[in-house]
Amino acid sequence: MNLHNPAFHLLAVLGNSPGVLTETLWALAQEKKPIIPQRVIILTTTQAMVRIEEELLQSVDGQPSRWQEFREAILKGKKIKNPKNFLILDCRLIQKSCGKRGKQIPLEDIRSADDNHDVADFILDQVRSLVSDQASRLIISLAGGRKTMGILLYGSISLLGRAEDRLTHVLVNSPFDSELNPSFLYPAQKERWLIDRSGKQWDARKGKIQLANLPFVPLAEAFQKHYGQVPRTFTALAQKMSQIVQEREPLRSVPVEFFRDRPEVRIKGKTYKFSVRPYLIFLFLANCKKRNVSYVKQSACLTDLELFQSKLRKEASQSHLSDWRSRLNFKMDEGQLRKNLLDLRNQIKKQGDEARWVLEILPLKRDFSLQIDKKFIIIIDDLFVK
């Protein structure tokens, strides 16, 4: 089992049902490509922590705790180097601000609007810290804790998470998803026979656990790329993101003027200059958009790009040696196309904050066309006097 590159960590909010944690970890270990996280980070309150201690961590009469038994059941038979470094439980108590004491104290439970704000900021800070580790991948479980905690965790991972992170919810068949005594943790648990409220016995071996992957939009890369440092608090981050969304959409309605006779673009009266090869692609994409032509993938456009380049070269002014089109004689394969697209992005970034929104209209992976309505594209024909 290749469990080291990258390292996986599980982040979960947990309340009075600690079983969702073991169920999630069990399901991960049973996947076609088993995943056993190195660290298991729990965000919880002091009230819920009491239940976690009772259900998972207490050792009775010197016997292993249920968590120890669970780790042994998961790791048994697995060919893992240094198994002691896996499934390391890290319980973190949610902190709240206490003005009277002048410090933060553990939160007992979520009972007020202020508590909600404290929980939101705490969860955001935890996610921020974990996603900063580029050598690891994060698996997030929304199955436990109060609904507010799950919603705030979902919001935090959407705002700060990476595309390679994973969001999950665990599903368990009845009656193992309800209150049993002792509680259901995983099918192979030591306490096999479980009793429901009516006194009926149920075999833990019959428990079926499924892990559902939940979609989320990782907004962090675009947010940081265009707007610098991410705000520290959840509320400020949400407000800033809403502001950005409101500001961005009208920008797609700003006319973008492309010149054919020189590698320049004009936006709101300001001119931006580009080098020859990146501008060739930019102008080509603008021309395609005007003609309602798009491509599913980059490589599909290479023949048309070559024809467009040849046409531009023939248009070059013979009396103006500075005409950029006279230098168009490039053989463009898929690798060079990707490189010049990257150069185009970098040149847009260097134009300053006013031009950065243009990055938003560049092609997508499965839609190789400019992401702007063609009525806002203006191509200015040759201005040279012939």
- Least confident among 122-136, 174-188, 216-230, 358-372: 216-230
Rounded Cα–Cα distance for residues 8 and 142 (Å): 17
Interval 290-343: pLDDT, tens = 999 989 888 899 999 999 999 999 988 877 777 899 999 888 899 999 999 999
Interval 221-280: pLDDT, tens = 666 655 556 667 787 777 777 766 666 555 567 899 999 999 999 988 899 999 999 999
**Structure-block tokens of residue 152:** 């705030």
Q: What is the pLDDT of residue 28?
A: 96
Could you write out the three-class secondary structure of 169-181? Answer: EEEECCCCCCCCE
Collect contacts of 32-36 with beta carbons under 8 A, ≥24 apart: 34/1, 34/3, 34/78, 35/3, 35/8, 35/139, 36/1, 36/3, 36/8, 36/74, 36/75, 36/78, 36/80, 36/86, 36/87
User: Is residue 378 predicted with pLDDT exceeding 50?
Assistant: yes
The amino acid sitting at 70 is F
Rounded Cα–Cα distance for residues 71 and 87 (Å): 7
- Least confident among 32-41, 42-51, 91-100: 91-100
Output DSSP code: residue 297. S
Q: For the chain, what are the domain ranges?
A: 7-239, 252-380
Helix (H/G/I), strand (E/B), else coil: 273:
strand
What CA–CA distances, in Å, run from 229 to 86, 218, 232, 233? Answer: 33, 16, 9, 12
Q: What percent of the chain has pLDDT over 90?
A: 59
Helix (H/G/I), strand (E/B), else coil: 268:
coil
Of the candidates 361, 363, 364, 366, which has an alpha carbon nearest to the alpha carbon of residue 377? Answer: 361
* pTM of the full structure: 0.65
Alpha helices in the chain (DSSP H): 19-29, 46-52, 66-75, 113-131, 147-160, 220-227, 234-251, 276-290, 302-315, 334-350, 353-356
User: Is residue 146 predicted with pLDDT exceeding 50?
Assistant: yes
The amino acid sitting at 336 is Q
**Structure-block tokens of residue 228:** 């610098």
Looking at domain 7-239, which of 3.10.28.10, 3.40.50.261, 3.90.1570.10, 3.40.50.10770 is its CATH number?
3.40.50.10770
Residue pair 238/52 in contact by the 8 Å Cβ criterion: no
Backbone angles phi, psi at 203, to 5 degrees: -85, 120
